[in-house]
Amino acid sequence: MKIVFFGTPQFAVPTLEKLLNHSKFDVLAVVTQPDKRRERGNKLTPSPVKAIATAHSLAVWQPEKVKKDTDTLTKLKELDADVFVVVAYGQILSSKILKMPKLGCINVHGSILPKYRGAAPIQWCLYNGEKETGITTMLMDVGMDTGPMLEIATTPIGLLDNTQDLAERLAAIGGDLLVETLLKLERQEIKPIPQDNLSATYAPLIQKEDYGLDWSKSAMQLHNQIRGFYPNCTATFRNNLLKITASAPLGSVGDRIPPELQELISKLPDLSNVSDKPGVVVNITKGIGAIVQTGEGLLLLREVQLAGKRPQSGWDFVNGTRLTVGEVFGAGS
């Protein structure tokens, strides 16, 4: 099966690697976003997908706008591919491109469609406190993740999973599911299933204002925001911005409590009667960290990051700042 692969971030790499290592597939070329200036030195850095493609001596095309790049469009047409595979590419494909391959364009999407269509399905899934998510392979059409579904694989979400954890797991699942999807398509063993548009939800790009923490929210809401928008959620501490990169809601979280959190909670003093204004540090537990009152329940700060510093454990933060009970964390921005 002759394939052109469209993808950009690390999330797409396991799927590309699965295709490259399978005897049934021939990856003819890779289309990815242009190199970007990143990190210190402001040097141009290739996308993770480009790095893999280059290591395998594949043709790599990086048009600024693939829909309007006549050179890329001509080369895509000339390849006469069986299928285009699209995984977090970052650009919308035109109807002209979608019609090129014999079997169509197949997208590997990081949610159980029709829920969480759009650019940030993993982030919003965690933000909304979902207990399960998955990967959907679908035939692409001109809409935003609206095409008919081919195969679905699911995975449970742990209480302490963050976006990075879940993305790594889903990326691996996506590679396996795509291989299964392509082989079934070749054998004509899949019947595409239209999506129920009435059940659809949307997962837009994350905006800067989504990162600010409001302590009047419940501990669970704040925890879901912190892990969903990891590692960028902010509060204010002593008039400076502070990133909170890992947390744990204390109190009733039902049967979702993982063993590591059960062990942690067992070490805490009895906090059942503690109550204060949202944002106030109500307890500091040796070896663990600070516990903050929220609008409903208590939130343990497991990891934080001071401006210009590396992330540190909640306990190291307490020691380094000499944090005391009664201090107040403000809202982020």
275's CB contacts (< 8 A; 6+ apart) are 282, 293
CA distance 173 to 11: 11
Kindly report the number of other CB atoms within 10 A of residue 253's CB atom. 17
CA dist list (Å): 163 to 7, 135, 245, 275, 309: 19, 15, 11, 30, 21
Dig out the tokens for 14 from the structure. 């396991």
CA distance 179 to 185: 10
Dig out the tokens for 295 from the structure. 């609008």
Are 293 and 283 in contact by the 8 Å Cβ rule? The answer is no
**What is the maximum span of the chain, computed from C-alpha positions, in angstroms?**
71
Residues in the chain with pLDDT values less than 70: 39-41, 251-257, 267, 272
Q: Which residue has the tokens 């699942």?
A: 173
Burial class (CB in 10 A: 0-12, 13-18, 19+), 129: middle
Cis peptide before 258 (omega within 30 of 0): no
Radius of gyration of the chain (CA): 23
CA distance 84 to 63: 16
CA 159 to chain centre: 15
pLDDT at 263 (0 to 100): 72
CA dist list (Å): 326 to 241, 295, 305: 19, 16, 21
Are 282 and 274 in contact by the 8 Å Cβ rule? The answer is yes
Are 298 and 291 in contact by the 8 Å Cβ rule? The answer is yes
Q: Are strands 149-156 and 234-237 parallel, antiparallel or unpaired?
A: unpaired
Dig out the tokens for 195 from the structure. 């999506």
CA distance 178 to 189: 14
CA distance 2 to 26: 5
CA distance 244 to 253: 20
Query: Global pTM?
Result: 0.93
